[in-house]
Amino acid sequence: MTDDFEFYAVDPAASPDERHAIRQLLTRCGLDYEEHIQVFVACRHEGRLVACAGLESNIVKCCAIEPDLRGGSLSLTLLSEVVHLAYERGHSHLFLYTRPENVSFFQGCGFYPLAEVPGYVTLMENTPVGIRSYCDRLRTKRIAGAKIGAIVINANPFTLGHQYLVRLAAAQCDWLHLFVVSEDVSFVSYRDRYALVEQGVQGIERLTLHHGSQYMVSRATFPDYFFKEKGVVGDCCTAIDLLLFRRYIAPALGITHRFVGTEPFCETTRKYNADMKYWLQTADAAAPAVTVIEEARTRAGGTPISASEVRRLLRSRDVDRIRALVPSATFELLQDKYMPKIVPFVPDLAGAAGEPDAVPRRAVAAGV
Residues linked to residue 261 through DSSP beta bridges, in sequence order = 295
In order of start, what are the domains of the chain with their CATH numbers?
2-128 (3.40.630.30), 132-341 (3.40.50.620)
pLDDT at residue 361 above 80?
no
Distance CA 83, CA 81 (A): 5
**What value does the mean pLDDT take over residues 170-189?**
94
Work out the mean pLDDT of the chain and round it to a whole number.
Answer: 86
Distance CA 121, CA 243 (A): 12
**What value does the mean pLDDT take over residues 148-170?**
96
pLDDT of residue 4: 86
**Global confidence as pTM:** 0.85
Tell me the range of 109-123, 163-177, 265-279, 338-352 where mean pLDDT is highest: 163-177
Which pLDDT band holds residue 239 (cuts at 50, 70, 90)? confident
Return phi, psi of residue 177, to 5°: -105, 120
Nearest CA-CA partner of 21 in 66, 55, 56, 57:
66
Nearest CA-CA partner of 18 in 36, 2, 45, 40:
40
What percent helix, strand, coil does the chain show, rounded to 5?
A: 40, 20, 40
pLDDT of residue 343: 54
Radius of gyration of the chain (CA): 22
pLDDT at residue 225 above 50?
no
pLDDT of residue 363: 28
**What value does the mean pLDDT take over residues 35-59?**
95
